[in-house]
Amino acid sequence: MDWTHRLRLRNLQMLISLAQTGNMSQSAEALHTTQPGLSKWLRELEEDVGVPLFERLARGLRPTAYGEALIAHARRIEAHLDTARDEMMVLRDGGDGLVTIGFVGASSVDSVPMAVLKILEKVPAAHIRLLENKIESLIEGLSAGLLDVVVGPSNMQSQDPLIRSEVLYVQPIHLVVRQDHPILEKKKPTWADVLSYPWALWAKGTPVRAAFDQALLDAGQKPPVTYVESNSATLTTTLLVHSNMIGVTYHRPALRWSRMNILSIVPLQLSVFGSVTLYWREDSVSRVAVKAALDGIRQVVQEFVKDGDSRQPAIGLPKRKVTSKLTK
């Protein structure tokens, strides 16, 4: 008999618990079962599968490579069931479905909020969840079924065959300041001019920070002496608006902030560019709210170009599978 027929939702929860605790007695207590019963179930499952799923160590259990693979499947199944439960609740209460969108602040601070408005135009009763995080964590969440759509830096990689991606646009990096900043009095500011001020920078490890560090290297400059690091677009913008700090961001948010008279772009050209990609799960596109999210994000990108941005987006590029291993 196919051993998968033996697995039920509770069995998947047992696997996940054992992976989390690494302890048979703790998992048995959390699952309201007995340790001998849990141990017997695991032994019989390993006999059915034909490979060891856990190493028995002096201090507990550790998943083998086979166990890690099966546990990853268990977590994806559990995440899909959680999404199904939540979407049924939304539909039962009169909503039009659920979509969970992950985004990286610096690269999608402009496109994601505007796309949310497009989604609500198309599907007024949609329930939208937004999650900001590092792109590595977001891609892992997308693969696990915790997210439906991700907007963030390009060139991320995953082995999950269900993940699709599409480059939305390529954009330069800009320096930005408050509207009446003294640096704007200079028609052609130099690196020496801008580095004499304090800075509000994105944290190390973020794509926009990596681009800025590369721009400094290309220009033969050292990092600013005084700076604050943050992963929050809101915090960074607030610091810039209320001080003489200089910030770094992508073209699209810089241009929108300039149009809204919130921040101004410093006329110092940097040598670096960044690209933003749309990632999604192929098996989620049939859901109304997810399709509306994908359409809304693409529409925002197109409208931005029509509204006066001369840098054409990469809409229409072939969709590709992201098949290489995710870089940790």
Question: Do 204 and 62 belong to one domain?
Answer: no
Query: pLDDT tens, 230-269?
Result: 988 889 999 999 999 999 998 888 988 998 999 999 999 9
Identify whether 38 is part of a domain: yes
Question: Do 130 and 161 belong to one domain?
Answer: yes
pLDDT for res 3:
67
Question: Do 62 and 122 belong to one domain?
Answer: no
Phi, psi (rounded to 5 degrees) for 197: -105, 160
pLDDT for res 312:
40
Query: pLDDT tens, 155-175?
Result: 777 778 889 999 998 889 999
Question: Do 184 and 200 belong to one domain?
Answer: yes
Query: pLDDT tens, 192-206?
Result: 999 999 999 998 888
The pLDDT of 102-108, averaged and rounded, is 79
pLDDT for res 119:
92
- Global confidence as pTM: 0.68
The pLDDT of 34-39, averaged and rounded, is 91
| Residue 60 belongs to domain with CATH number | 1.10.10.10
Identify whether 326 is part of a domain: no
Identify whether 233 is part of a domain: yes
Looking at 38-52, 97-111, 168-182, 285-299, which range is the least confident one?
A: 97-111
Question: Do 197 and 278 belong to one domain?
Answer: no
Domain of residue 317 covers 85-169+274-321
Does residue 136 have a pLDDT over 80?
A: yes
Average pLDDT, the chain: 85
More confident residue, 210 or 197: 197
Question: Do 163 and 101 belong to one domain?
Answer: yes
Q: Among 170, 202, 171, which Cα is nearest to 104's?
A: 202
Question: Do 164 and 303 belong to one domain?
Answer: yes
pLDDT for res 95:
64
Question: Do 196 and 159 belong to one domain?
Answer: no
Does residue 96 have a pLDDT over 50?
A: yes
Question: CA–CA separation, 71 vs 53, rounded Å?
Answer: 9
- The total number of structural domains in the chain stands at 3
Q: Is 147 exposed, middle or buried (0-12, 13-18, 19+ CB in 10 A)?
A: buried
| Residue 217 belongs to domain with CATH number | 3.40.190.290
* DSSP character at residue 96: -
| Residue 163 belongs to domain with CATH number | 3.40.190.10
The stretches of the chain forming alpha helices (DSSP H) are: 9-21, 24-30, 35-49, 65-92, 105-108, 111-122, 135-144, 191-194, 207-218, 233-241, 251-259, 288-306
Start-to-end CA distance of the chain, whole Å, equals 38
Identify whether 327 is part of a domain: no
pLDDT for res 183:
97
Question: Do 182 and 315 belong to one domain?
Answer: no
Question: CA–CA separation, 38 vs 146, rounded Å?
Answer: 28
Query: pLDDT tens, 280-309?
Result: 999 889 888 999 999 999 999 888 765 555
HSE-up of 236 (CA within 13 Å, CB side)? 27
Does residue 328 have a pLDDT over 80?
A: no
